[in-house]
A = this chain, B = another copy of it.
Amino acid sequence: MKYTFALIGIWLLSFSGLAQELISPNQDLKMKFSLDENGTPVYQLYYKNEEVIKPSKLGLELKDDDLSLMNSFKIVDTNTSTYDNTWEPVWGEQAEIRNHYNELAVTLNQPEKDRKIIIRFRMFNEGLGFRYEFPEQKNLVYFVIKEEHTQFAMTGDHTAFWIPGDYDSQEYDYTTSKLSEISSKFDGALSHNESQEQFSKTGVQTSLMMKTEDGLFINLHEAALKEYSLMNLNLNEKNFVFESWLTPDVLGNKGFLQAPNTSPWRTIMVSDDATDILASNMTLNLNEPNVIEDTSFIKPMKYVGVWWEMITGKSAWNYTDDLPSVKVGETDFTKAKPNGRHAANTEHVKEYIDFASEHGFDGVLVEGWNQGWEDWYGHSKDFVFDFVTPYPDFDVEEIHDYAASKNVKMIMHHETSGAIRNYERHMDSAYAFMNKYDYPAVKSGYVGNIIPRGEHHYGQWAINHFLYAVKKAADYKVMVNAHEAVRPTGLRRTYPNLIANESARGTEFQAFGGNKPNHVTILPFTRLIGGPMDYTPGIFEMDISKLNPDNNSHVNSTIANQLALYVTMYSPLQMAADLIENYKRFPDAFQFIKDVAIDWEESKYLEAEPGQYITVARKAKGTNNWFVGNVNGTTPRTTKIKLDFLEKGKKYTATIYADAEDAHYKTNPQAYKITTKTVTRRTKLKLDSAPGGGFAISIIEKK
């Protein structure tokens, strides 16, 4: 990895009264910072000279502190600099990432307490990041955050793409509404989850995507969330001011800090072009560089697995139905009556290994392989799994040998049931077990309430754990794909073995009643801002009752839309989630899943409108091949795209996987058509997408 540093200590401030200004490298964005009459820090943001963030206060309320870090500040120092550097991620949407910003660091002092903080602003072309810093000092050492009061004052009643603020779950469908409608639509935006707790009817999660009446796109999120609790936003519906709302611990505290330390970055992206939000690397750039020296074990993977059949209810995770409860290490499963529905058995897993091998997949995920699934959730059970003991019908050794003979890697599954202590106690032996049997990656899960009881998925305690698990995995050269963990905030830059997260409503909900058809036109603007998602696309059979007569759920998507997701939902870890039998029914469509790359040289965000459509083109790393994906919302739509990103003078074979004319996510989801043509950089395409549809194109260089 190569870093080029360009730290230039030039002054970018222009003094207008007492306010200090910070301007983006491209001059589009301007931030004004000042202290108000109470000594409270206030910032304001302009985009192309129009106000996008009205004067907004900054500060932290401390526990057992009469003054807090809210007011009575004096500016004691300001420092500006410019940074311009290009770095290479281990994997990603592009091979090189430019990190270019102007910085303003304001040192503030509270004379009354003789203590100081720094507020550091970094202005990128597409947005502003800022954080609180607590330098080493005598009078601010250990402190407890009662609440962070960071404001984001909106200029009007914008349209927002939001999910309910929650301490434990992000697995909600998005609601599109005016800010003023959030509270009235709040209850309707809720859906059940095994662990969830909302805090306010005007509470929403980040990354929050908004659009102004003037067509400006605004995105609020955070970057580099470590040793701090997650930020939700609470809206004052009267003046459209959002304020940070941190996740509490069991006692209501919102963060234990020891100086020197910092808060995560708070980010505001702004553009009049929605694709700028998708293309932004601001969140990554606000994270620290990679700290893992040997990254040779970190490799993007395409995989299949024993999973969708359990999600749909066709098969079971558990081995027996006959025991009221089990204790791993005590229950003798060889004496238990098998329920006959246990999918993670050696024979069945071998079928998946064969399929993966035949079709060029890197890995096979198997859930339900280890003892404990009989009573794995809903009981606040502490010692629920040991992560190393298989059911009698899952032969770890035999499966390992078979997979190795077929050049396929097994992917580990660690469901923790939220029992963090138990997982940490078994983590070393669990990772060592993975090393022994050559599992390169683990899908971890945190279904249900967290143990220690009363802690939340997004509180400081759990957030500390999630990163601990990633760091320890790195020690064992293991990649982590954490489900039900805190949403990503770009930490993958620092820890590139964090290859994916769930942290949103994924494909599984298509078997639990369905997702909104435009869900995937919003996720890249919200959930994916922080990092890749293990969305598990690739469902070809939309009528779930065909898998399980007791499940009438419908997958609200066309097959073409499912294919497009491999391009629009960037992830270095991509599953082909459906059953083998369903892929065998549609081998021509399946070809795209086989062909599509998972690591990229370059990405072009061709067009996008949150909630309506996204069209992305990506160039496969180390090749001249491109893959294009379009996902569409509920309105039929025609996309016109130019292939001017192709290399001059070269010819390509484009295979277009599009919705058939009569396709529809609900009524006719399996109607697709595949066409092939020769294309060049001068080619223009006009393609129709059905409601809940889209298209996928592979563009392979002719040699």
Residues of A within 8 A of B (CB): 136-138, 141-142, 144, 249-251, 253, 256, 258-259, 324-325, 327, 375, 379-382, 421, 424-425, 428, 452-455, 461, 464, 468
Listed A/B pairs (27) with beta-carbon separation below 8 Å: A136-B325, A137-B324, A138-B324, A141-B324, A141-B325, A141-B379, A142-B325, A142-B380, A144-B380, A249-B454, A250-B250, A250-B251, A250-B453, A251-B453, A251-B454, A253-B453, A256-B382, A258-B327, A258-B379, A259-B324, A382-B464, A421-B421, A424-B424, A425-B468, A428-B428, A452-B452, A452-B461
How far is it, in angstroms, between the C-alpha of A436 and the C-alpha of B379 when the chains are bound? 41
Bound-state CA distance A345–B354 (Å) is 63
When distances are taken between beta carbons in the complex, the residues of chain B under 8 Å from A136 are 324-325
Considering residues A253, A258, A425, A464, which has the most beta carbons from chain B within 10 angstroms of its beta carbon? A258
The 3 nearest A-B residue pairs measured at CB? A452-B452, A142-B379, A141-B324
Bound together, the chains give a CA A258 to CA B374 distance in angstroms of 13
Contacting residues, chain B, for A454 (C-beta < 8 A): 249-251, 454
The chain B residue with its CB closest to the CB of A136 is B324
Residue from A380, A424, A452, A455 whose CB has the most chain B CB atoms within 10 Å: A452
Which single residue of chain B is at the shortest CB-CB distance from A330? B260
Q: B324 to A380, Cβ gap below 8 A?
A: no
Provide the residues of chain B in CB contact with A259, threshold 8 Å: 324-325
- A424 to B379, alpha carbons, bound, how many Å? 24
Docked complex Cα distance between A138 and B453 (Å):
25
Query: In the assembled complex, which residues on chain B have CB atoms less than 8 Å from the CB atom of A250?
Result: 250-251, 452-454
A323 to chain B minimum Cβ distance, whole angstroms, is 8
Complex Cα gap A461–B454 (Å)? 13
Q: In whole Å, how far is A334's beta carbon from the nearest beta carbon of chain B?
A: 18
Most buried by B among A325, A381, A455, A461: A325
Query: Contact at B258–A381, with CB atoms within 8 Å?
Result: yes
What is the minimal beta-carbon distance from A180 to any residue of chain B, in angstroms? Answer: 37
A511 to B428, CA, bound (A): 42
CA distance A242 to B380 in the complex (A): 31
Once the chains are docked, how many angstroms separate the CA of A428 from the CA of B475? Answer: 15
* Chain B residues whose C-beta falls within 8 Å of the C-beta of A253 in the assembled complex: 453
**Chain B residues whose C-beta falls within 8 Å of the C-beta of A381 in the assembled complex:** 142, 258
A258 — which chain B residues lie within 8 A by C-beta? 325, 327, 379, 381
Q: In chain B, what residue has the closest Cβ to A138? A: B324
Complex Cα distance A258/B330, Å? Answer: 13
Among residues of B, the one whose C-beta sits closest to the C-beta of A249 is: B453
When chains A and B are docked, how far (Å) is the Cα of A119 from the Cα of B258?
50
Bound CA–CA A137/B323 (angstroms): 9
Residues of B within 8 A of A138 (CB): 324
| With A141-B379, A249-B454 already in contact, 18 other A-B pairs whose C-beta atoms are closer than 8 Å | A136-B324, A138-B324, A141-B324, A144-B380, A249-B453, A250-B250, A250-B251, A250-B452, A251-B453, A258-B325, A258-B379, A259-B325, A382-B464, A424-B424, A424-B425, A428-B428, A452-B452, A452-B455
Which residues of chain B are near A379, meaning CB under 8 Å? 141-142, 258
Q: How far is the CB of A63 from chain B (nearest CB, A)?
A: 11
